[in-house]
Structure 1
Amino acid sequence: MGRWAVATERRRGEALIRAIHEAVLAEVVDAGLGQLTMEGIARRAATAKTVLYRRWATPFELLIDALGEAYPVEVPTPAADNLRTDLIAALTLLTDWMVTPAATAVMAITSERGRYPELAEALWDKVFDPRGGTFTTTVLRWYAARGRLDPARLTPITTQIGEALVFKLAIDNARTPSAEEVAAIVDEALLPALGL
Structure 2
Amino acid sequence: MTPISATDNVAPAPAKRRRGDVLVRAILRAVIEQLETLGYAKLSVEGVAAAAGTGKAALYRRWSGKEELVAAALAEVLPSPAEVPRTGDTRADLIALLACMRDSFSQHGTAFQVVKAEAEAGEALLAGVVQQRVVQPCTEGIRARLAEAATRGELGVAATQPMLANVGPAMLIYHTLTRGIDIADDYLDHIVDDLILPAAR
TM over 0.5: yes
Name the structure 2 match of 1:91.
98
Q: Give distance in 1, aligned partners of 2:69 and 2:102.
A: 25
Q: 1:108 to 1:162 in 2, by over 3 A?
A: same
The amino acid that maps onto 2:73 is A
Written as runs of structure 1 = structure 2, the 5 A alignment for 1:2-81 is: 4-5=12-13, 8-74=15-81, 75=83, 78=86, 81=88
Please say which of residues 16-25 and 83-92 is displaced more in the overlay.
Answer: 83-92
The amino acid that maps onto 1:66 is A
Structure 1 residue 29 displacement after superposition: 1.9
The amino acid that maps onto 1:65 is A
Structure 1 residue 14 displacement after superposition: 1.0
1:65-111 CA-to-partner distances (Å, cap 9, x unmatched) read: 223333332246558x533211211132234444433x544444445
SS in 1 for 2:32: helix
Q: Give distance in 2, aligned partners of 1:105 and 1:44.
A: 17
1:143 pairs with 145, 154, 157, which one? Answer: 145
Paired-residue identity, %: 29
Contact 1:83–1:143 (Cα < 8 Å) also in 2: yes
Structure 1 residue 17 displacement after superposition: 0.6
Q: Give distance in 2, aligned partners of 1:3 and 1:191.
A: 67
Q: Give distance in 2, aligned partners of 1:128 and 1:110.
A: 15
Q: Which of the pair has more CA radius of gyration?
A: 2
Structure 1: 5+ residue stretches without partners: none
2:193 pairs with 182, 187, 190, which one? Answer: 187
Contact 1:84–1:186 (Cα < 8 Å) also in 2: yes
Q: Give distance in 1, aligned partners of 2:23 and 2:160.
A: 45
SS in 2 for 1:4: coil
Structure 1 residue 182 displacement after superposition: 3.6
Structure 1 residue 46 displacement after superposition: 2.2
SS in 2 for 1:5: coil
Q: Give distance in 2, aligned partners of 1:11 and 1:52.
A: 13
Structure 1 residue 30 displacement after superposition: 2.0
1:165 pairs with 175, 180, 201, which one? Answer: 175
How many residues align structurally? 184
Stretches of 4+ aligned residues off by more than 6 angstroms = none
Name the structure 2 match of 1:120.
124
Contact 2:139–2:166 (Cα < 8 Å) also in 1: no
Q: 1:38 to 1:67 in 2, by over 3 A?
A: same
RMSD: 3.7
| TM-score scaled by length of structure 2 | 0.67
| TM-score scaled by length of structure 1 | 0.69
